[in-house]
Amino acid sequence: MRSLIYLLPVLLFGAVIAAFAIGLGRDPAILPSTLLDKPLPTFDLPAVRDGDVGLKSSDIRGQPRLLNVFASWCVSCRFEHPVLLALKARGVPIDGLDWKDQAAAGARYLIDNGDPYARVGNDQPGRTGIDLGVAGVPETFVVDALGRVRYKQVGPITPDDWTRTIAPLMDRLRAGT
Amino acid sequence: MTAEIGQFALILALALACIQAGAQLWGASRGDGALMAVGRNATLLQAVFVALAFGCLAALYLSNDFSVALVAQHSNSAQPLIYRLGATWGSHEGSMLLWVLILAIYGGAVAVFGGTLRETMRARVLGVQGLLGAAFIGFLIFTSNPFTRLVPVPADGGELNPILQDPGLVFHPPILYLGYVGLSIAFSFAVAALIEGTVDEAWARWVRPWVLASWLCLTVGITAGSLWAYYSLGWGGWWFWDPVENASFMPWLLATALLHSALVLEKRGALISWTILLAILAFSLSLVGTFLVRSGVLTSVHAFALDARRGVYILAIIAVFTGSALALFAWRAPAMRTGALFAPLSVEGGITLNNLFLLCATATVFLGTFYPVFVEVFSTDAITVGPPYYKLTFIPLVLPLLLLAGLGPLMSWRRDDLKTLARRVMWPAVIGVIALVAAALLFGPGKILNVLGMALGVWLIASAKLIMLRRWRVGQVGLGQSLRLARATPLAIWAVALAHGGLGVTTLGISGVTAWQTNKVLSMTAGQQVALGGKTVTLDQVRIVRGPNYEANQARFTVTGGWGGARTLISERRFYPVSQTHTTVAGIGFGALGDVYISVGDADPNGGLVVRLWDHPLVGWIWGGGLIMALGGALSLADRGWRRVVVRRRVPTAAQGVPATA
């Protein structure tokens, strides 16, 4: 019986390694979004800044737009932020969803780092995040003119992701409408 | 030419590592002295050739040889000399080469200085080190060759990630690696002991300085990394629970546990198989840390070389080494239960409890770090784990640990008496309770963790003081006698008081800054003043400056009020044209009671400059405490006790029924 206790570490370790091996086979950046080709869930979020408009799901339509989920406590978002600012400068419409974050902290983050968003909604309870299937921040949804999710990027958008994947998709969506 | 020499040196080192492993392990099992001597020479030669390869890579960087792909990616003609040197280990390939270099040097050190060990034990230790060396040199050569040439040769190179262009890069990775890789020696000793089937005090006496040195390097490395993040990321955070930070923190936690359990093994011959298990796990977590940064299994700000093929290779290394070691443990350790008995209320008992808490704390960090991976295996969901998780799981485990850390050094070995122990710790306990009440009144019940942290920090410092006061018998004998006792105090005693007191200082720093920090974000124009935490900050001047490979918007501030008179702080927003990246250099007024932290953003449309100001009371204590702990480690390492002649006495094979590790 006692020797079974000594066997425990190696058994646990085997399970961990198996999980790693499976995890390694998956790219954490490619996640099937259950929302793919479906309309955005309905939400109506308050603003992060006083006197600002919030963000409603009905705002995100009319033309292909990006919906970027961020938070002031998220380190990767700070790395992604300059890319978003550059996209805004090129006229790409981006809306922001400040996830699990205090509105004031989100507002400070935007003052500090610049504001790439057309509209920003605050989702402090994280409910809308759950509806959207948000796993972590940053995440970015490409939404078409009819308000349907067409693509989901997990993790920061790098300039490479933009030129290779997201820009061509948005061009196609724009041409289609 | 240099690149080819480096390449050949690496290939030779691989062959030598294989010879080292084969000759040592085979020689030890046959008791063949000549074969073991061959293995020792192979060990030394392997270190020489790895050092040659590393020297070649450094030379390539220093001479900016852009025909080498790695150099062309991470260096350019405008990059300052020191960061060209730092770039040697600033990339995936270079950092692995550094890893292998340290491994080889440590192996060489055991080969040279291990004369007091049993010959077969030393041979087996070096044999395991040889296997590790072969695995990692192979990893370099087959998946991450640092010497690959580039055709055609570019006119100028790329750039080292600007965030890494900081003095931090020059010190932080090498020190951290010294710690990670140092644990490989503990691992090799553990595996050698399992093969031999015996553990004696000489074993513990040999392992403990290595663990201590690793722990010391990890402590300094983690402290430096936290400080580096604080001043370079530009938003005043000092710990993020980022997967890669956790990757260095987990080996530190286990090295701390191992340090204490090896002490029990050395002094009392107890906790034998437990110590061996910890030695295996501590190094395995170092390997997991390596895996984490390089495999892309998790996304992290530190991640570099995200390449699944490399991930598979490292995962295979972990599976083979840790897997075999743990299988060996399952097979051999049950026969080795020869622990001495001790009462629950004793130093041994305290350390066992400390080990359990540390192991649980490590487990929570491990779970938090890898939970996203595990969840993905069972479902299609993906999740992230943030600071709230650690606040709920890690912190509650650490609080009793801090209480114990103040108590442990005041307990006696073997058997202690509750009544006399209570009398002994009365004063620190009273001071701690006063701190608890004061903090509770100050913070209110809403900040219970800060209140407890403050009280425990004070308790730790008070009890560390008491260690010294008791030793010097202050109050019991005359002043002259106490001074004489103070002079005669062994370094090891100072070490315990400093390490445990340093932990208290860090605890106070963390509790203080999380409770009291304030910040302001506003748009400022030159001449404008703003009040912050009882001080006044004035923006004096904004101008454009040019660095060697960047342009910066530089803002000068004057801070008045508070302690220490007026101070000038400079914060910069830098732009690196080669890689088109921005970085922020924060202006920080370090002070004993707290920092003023200023980071500037971009200019706003109205002609002002966006400025973020933080007041961080006690934040410096976090790193100060880390350095005090490290100083404690250094003193313990310097203590003469290590150099005493090692007695090769076997631990008495006790027939007592109760295992020490139960």
> Could you tell me the residue ranges of all domains in chain B?
1-160, 518-619
* Interface probe, candidates A2, A3, A6, A152, chain B, greatest B C-beta count within 10 A: A6
Report pLDDT for B281.
95
Interface test with A, best of B246, B326, B553 (most A CBs within 10 A): B326
User: For residue A27, is pLDDT > 80?
Assistant: no
pLDDT of residue B649: 43
DSSP class of residue A73?
A: T
User: From CA B623, how far away is CA B628, in angstroms rounded?
Assistant: 9
Tell me which residue in A6, A16, A29 faces B333 most closely, judged by beta carbons: A6
Reduce the DSSP state of residue B565 to 3 states and report it.
Answer: coil
Residues in CB range of B317: below 8 A, 6 or more apart: B135, B136, B139, B287
Tens of pLDDT along B639-651? Answer: 866 555 444 444 4
Least confident of B8-12, B155-159, B284-288, B552-556: B155-159
Q: Do A166 and A142 meet the contact criterion of CB atoms below 8 Å apart?
A: yes
Question: What residues contact residue B156 under an 8 Å CB cut-off, 6+ apart?
Answer: B66, B76, B77
CATH fold, domain A29-176, is Glutaredoxin (3.40.30)
Burial class (CB in 10 A: 0-12, 13-18, 19+), B218: buried
Q: Which two tokens stand for residue B511?
A: 């509790």
For residues B300 and B242, is the Cβ–Cβ distance under 8 A?
yes
Overall average pLDDT of the A136-148 stretch = 87
Q: Inform me whether the pLDDT recorded for B657 exceeds 50.
A: no
- How does residue B200 score in pLDDT terms, banded at 50, 70 and 90? confident
At how many degrees (to 10) do helices B448-472 and B426-443 cross? 160
H-run or E-run covering A168: helix A167-176
Tell me the torsion sign for CA atoms B638, B641, B642, B644.
Answer: positive
Dump pLDDT digits (tens) for B333-381.
888 766 777 878 888 888 999 999 999 999 999 988 888 777 766 665 5
Band (pLDDT 50/70/90 cuts) for residue B456 is very high
For residue B61 the two structure tokens come to: 């960087």
Nearest CA in chain B to A108: B521
Q: Which candidate from A13, A82, A133 shows the least CB-CB separation from B582?
A: A82
Q: Are B364 and B259 in contact (CB under 8 A)?
A: no
Q: Which residues neighbour B344 within 8 Å (Cβ) at sequence distance 6 or greater?
A: none
Going across the sheet that includes A94-99, the strands are A120-123, A94-99, A65-70, A139-143, A149-154
Q: In chain B, pLDDT over 70 holds for what percent of residues?
A: 90
Does B546 score more than 50 pLDDT?
yes
Q: What integer pLDDT is reported at residue B472 of this predicted model? A: 86
Measured in whole angstroms, the distance separating CA B314 from the mean position of its chain's CA atoms is 20
Please write the tens of the pLDDT for every residue from B386-440: 777 888 889 999 999 999 998 888 888 888 888 888 888 888 899 999 999 998 8
What is the per-residue pLDDT for B409? 87
Cβ atoms B198, B650 nearer than 8 A: yes
Average pLDDT over residues B580-585: 76
Q: Amino acid identity of B441?
A: L
pLDDT in tens, B204-236: 888 888 999 999 999 999 999 898 888 877 667
The β-bridge relationship of strands B587-589 and B581-585 is unpaired
CA distances from A29 to A140, B299, B306 (A): 11, 8, 12
Q: How far apart are the first and last CA of chain A?
A: 70
Q: What is the pTM of this model?
A: 0.80
Q: What is the mean pLDDT of chain B?
A: 85
Question: What distance in Å separates the CA atoms of residue B221 and residue B289, rounded to the nearest whole number?
Answer: 14
State percent of chain B over pLDDT 90: 37
A-chain CB neighbours of B334 within 8 Å are 2-3, 6
If one compares B327 and A50, the residue with the highest pLDDT of the two is B327
Higher pLDDT, B538 or B166: B538
pLDDT in the model for residue B501: 94
Rounded to whole angstroms, how far apart are CA atoms A36 and A143?
10
Across A11-15, A126-130, B44-48, B71-75, the highest mean pLDDT is recorded for: B44-48
Q: How many CB atoms lie within 10 A of CB B113?
A: 11
- Label residue B662 by pLDDT band (50, 70, 90): very low
Which residue spans within B451-579 are E strands per DSSP?
A: 518-524, 529-532, 535-546, 551-560, 567-576
Residue B447: band (very low, low, confident or very high) from pLDDT cuts 50, 70, 90:
confident
Query: B493-525 pLDDT, tens per residue?
Result: 899 999 999 999 999 999 998 888 888 888 888
> Of the spans B285-294, B457-466, B592-601, B608-617, which averages the highest pLDDT?
B457-466
Token reading at B391:
């606040």
Q: Which of A1, A5, A10 to mutate to test the interface with B (most CBs of B within 10 A)?
A: A10
Per-residue pLDDT, B429:
92
Q: Looking at beta carbons, which pairs linking A163-171 to residues 24 or more positions away fall under 8 Å?
A: A166/A66, A166/A140, A166/A142, A169/A142, A170/A64, A170/A92, A170/A142
Are B454 and B514 in contact by the 8 Å Cβ rule? The answer is no
Select the more confidently predicted residue: B576 or B285: B285
pLDDT number for residue A25: 62
CB contact under 8 A, B299 and A10: no
Give the tens place of pLDDT for each residue, B56-79: 999 999 888 888 888 888 788 878
Give buried/exposed letters for A48-70 (b at 16+ CB in 10 A, else e): bbeeeebbebebbbeebbbbbbb
Judged by a CB distance cut-off of 8 A, whether residue B658 touches chain A is no
Residue B521, min C-alpha distance to chain A (Å): 7
Residue B123 pLDDT exceeds 90 = yes
pLDDT exceeds 90 at position A37: no
pLDDT tops 90 at residue B623: yes
Q: How far is CA B134 from the centre of its chain?
A: 25
- Average pLDDT on A53-76 reads 87
User: How many other β-carbons are positioned within 10 Å of the β-carbon of residue B33?
Assistant: 12
Contact assessment for residue A100 and residue A40, using Cβ atoms and an 8 Å cutoff:
no
* Domain spans in chain A, listed from the N-terminal domain onward: 29-176
**Average of per-residue pLDDT across B246-263:** 92
